[in-house]
Structure 1
């Protein structure tokens, strides 16, 4: 571990020594940068100076060439031909040019004609009558002079490797025509100084570049290598690896930075461990709270459904799934219309609530589910965040079906209690006179000698009395139901008794009877006689609704496939005229009948018997025609 100590989990940094070596490295790097700038500046200054010198030297050489041209008489140039080198005119003119050469310290003066052949040359050993080889280098400048303009060349390197600079001035005759050109060459020894200066500057620049590059590379490496180590270490730390400290041997600011980084890494490691423990504690508390909330949601008997403003289900408890008959798989996170279906009555209620954003304390809804009709109570409230902004909607759903059924049963029992009291009065006030009337009618029938119209009238009176007695019997049965005597019996025997009692009516209309038992030994616990009467009433109603040649179907199946629990479903279906769906809820009411001759008590008695067995009876249309009664016991 670097020099440092732990105090309350934090590494102290006050004992880490600081160095100043990086400052020296930066200063050296700055010096070599300045050196490079100075080299570039010197090269630029040299280039500008050389250009100026080139111009000034060119103008001087042009002046010298013009001076030489002024010494020449164009008419005497005809005497400057090969073979005239020893003549007086040639020697005098050569001497004059030689004086100019020495005064201006140039290398050479010579005269050429328009064909570029030498007419005169201060260089004694130079032949006359031939074209100097170096004129090809400055041929554009020579052509300019032949057109009557004085001109100088740029510095050029001739065939011998030396620097030269030449100037050219035209020689005019009396007709102002150029007949010759005076050429001046600067001294190569003088120009060689420029070459040496240029070579020196180039050499110094190359040396400076090499030295600066080497030192820069060394400095860059000494700076960047520990920086790279720090970068790699920072990347490891970002990935959560705090196990490898940075090792930097530099005794400068970067070395100090590495020590600080190691201390910081150790501090982060300590804090990371603390944060990890805090995170575990927070996650544990969150899981505990979530589990507690789940326990509450699972334990509540009321259905709880929460949606966001987009209609996505965020919370739904098992009670809501049971009430709405939903699958518990993958309901959360889906849109309510996809889970419930657009035709679901509760889905329509949710849609209205989300569109209107109206929150009602309680609203009752009738929902037709696949197996039953339910009456639901829905309490709607907004879901608010910490800023009291609405972020969703809560639905608390209560299944009131059993409560409503219980209330209906209570009303029916109150009604039956009243009818029971009434039946005692009716039995005394109506049935006793009926019995007396029937007795006296019988006596009257035996004493009448003329058995014509009187006998028919007496027979009608007796039929009406029997009809009224049957009605009174049904009424008393409905108003004062017999005590239920529970026992186990086979449903197959129940079906046989019912079919036997209705056999005459079935034969009269040639009705086909079909019995379908899931198991011939399927048993039911109940009052055999009461259930027989209930099923017989349904069968007789079915026979009356069918035309000749109809079909009556009796079906018994186990509700859960477990015969020991005696929970079965009995179906009685016919192919008759059917019942209007609007009458489904009224056909079990007392004194309501769809037939003109019915008393309206048969199905009411059936309902009482099924209720006494704590069962359920529903009616629906039988496809393609007819009616189906379904009894759950």
Structure 2
């Protein structure tokens, strides 16, 4: 039985059969976990199993008897799926690749495999299978290899970076009496404090494969965010953007953790936001919103920007060690930040749209 829509797509003068798939095997093909689509020697779909037409969100009758051109003109096939069908066809039929992987609109990974040649007698057999679990295992293995490499490099890097910082610290201490005479001793204190913080950051970066135990203390969220915003305001103005600290409605919210590590996380995210808004091409003023609110038993600190945003592929790898979109980036900032927050019993979530901006949320347990 052929549907009216399918009938309009059939080629004149041809007799269509159910296809070369033996009925004894149809039940097996219907129940495997891969989608199957078979094109005959004339490029017409002769068999499709329920997994495949379920993936395409079409019916079997609207597919059997169609060519690839008819499939791409099917009004019921979504634009994204048309794009992936066409790309798979180009990569495998025209370029001769045996398989092709892609990411769908829901963030799932799929693998398309093509079987053709003499053994198929001119037919083309496409199979589609979800490989999200395999990708997760692959990414975990890559992350473990990256962390192992980081451990080997850490000793030499620490020596090269810390020596200049130690020299700078020593000279600033020697200049302290002169700064005191000029009434500028506060500058010396700020420089020493920032050098110490830089040393702490280097330590965290280089030991990210062996996360340190947080030095737990009570941290007022409002004081933490105010201090970080104060530290970054002048840098933001130089980069042509503005930082807005939202007023705190719930009073003084407290979290438990290492104040240096918490400061490092928020600073890293604000500086990432500054770079994102600096890359805008429309000339509009860059804005960064910082604040916190209570959500049940958690404190949720947020850092938002109206920068260039990120696509789904970038978001998917954002917290992987060594992954970076910056020309001179190390790819360690967000991976270290994610590890710090997890060590404190919290999590980091992120949402972003290209050319619209990015929104980070740091969720941590609230201390009463």
Determine if the alignment matches structure 1 residue 602 to structure 2 residue 340: no
The answer (yes or no) to whether the contact 2:351–2:358 under 8 Å persists in 1 is yes
C-alpha distance in structure 2 between counterparts of 1:556 and 1:306, whole Å: 55
Aligned equivalents of 1:342 and 1:579: distance in 2?
Answer: 23
Give the Cα–Cα distance (whole angstroms) in 2 for the partners of residues 591 and 383 of structure 1: 43
Residue 378 and residue 295 in structure 1: after superposition, are their counterparts in 2 closer, same or farther (change >3 A)?
closer
Question: What's the C-alpha RMSD, in Å, of the aligned pairs?
Answer: 5.8
Between Structure 1 and Structure 2, how many residues are aligned? Answer: 293
Pair 1:420-2:156 in alignment: no
Partner of 2:99: 363
CA–CA separation in structure 1 for the residues paired with 2:44 and 2:293: 43
Helix, strand or coil for the counterpart of 1:511? strand
Q: Paired residue for 2:142, among 377, 398, 411?
A: 411
Question: Please, what TM-score do these two structures have when normalized by structure 2?
Answer: 0.53
Q: Which residue of 2 aligns with 1:155?
A: none
- 2:37 alignment counterpart: 305
The aligned residue for residue 211 of structure 2 is 481
Q: Helix, strand or coil: the match of 1:478?
A: coil
User: Of residues 303, 306, 313 in structure 2, which corresponds to 1:576?
Assistant: 306
Say if 1:330 and 1:316 are closer, same or farther in 2 by CA, change over 3 A: same
Q: 1:291 to 1:552 in 2, by over 3 A?
A: farther
Ranked by relative contact order (alpha carbons within 8 Å, sequence separation 6 or more), the top structure is 2
Choose from 378, 385, 389 the match for 2:113. 378
1:211-610 alignment runs, 5 A limit: 293-295=26-28, 297-298=30-31, 300-308=32-40, 309=42, 311-312=44-45, 314-318=47-51, 320=52, 325-327=55-57, 330-334=59-63, 335=66, 336-337=71-72, 338=74, 340-341=77-78, 343=80, 344-349=82-87, 351-352=89-90, 360=96, 362-365=98-101, 367-372=102-107, 374=109, 376-381=111-116, 390=122, 392-427=123-158, 431=162, 433=163, 437=167, 440-441=170-171, 444-445=174-175, 451-452=181-182, 462=192, 465-466=195-196, 468-482=198-212, 501-504=224-227, 511=244, 536=266, 539-541=269-271, 544=274, 551=289, 574-579=304-309, 584=314, 590=322, 592=324, 594=326, 601-606=332-337
Cα deviation for residue 414 of structure 1 reads: 1.7
SS of equivalent residue, structure 2 residue 27: helix
Check the 8 A contact 2:99/2:112 in 1, yes or no: yes
Change over 3 Å in CA distance of 1:452–1:555 after alignment to 2: closer
Residue deviations 1:372-430, cap 9 Å, x none?
Answer: 2635242233698xxx864x531122444543443343233222112123324555675
CA separation of 1:313 and 1:466: change in aligned 2, threshold 3 A: farther
Gaps of 5+ in 1: 1-288, 485-495, 516-526, 558-569
Q: 1:622 to 1:583 in 2, by over 3 A?
A: closer
- Per-residue CA distance 1:262-311 (angstroms, 9 max, x = gap): xxxxxxxxxxxxxxxxxxxxxxxxxxx9687435542x344323345455
Matched, 1:627 2:358: yes
Q: Distance in 2 between matches of 1:497 and 1:456?
A: 24
1:302–1:501 distance in 2 versus 1, CA, 3 Å: farther
Correspondence 1:168-179 to 2 at 5 A = none
Which whole-Å CA distance do the structure 1 matches of 2:84 and 2:340 have between them? Answer: 33
- 1:438/1:480 CA distance change after superposition, 3 Å: farther
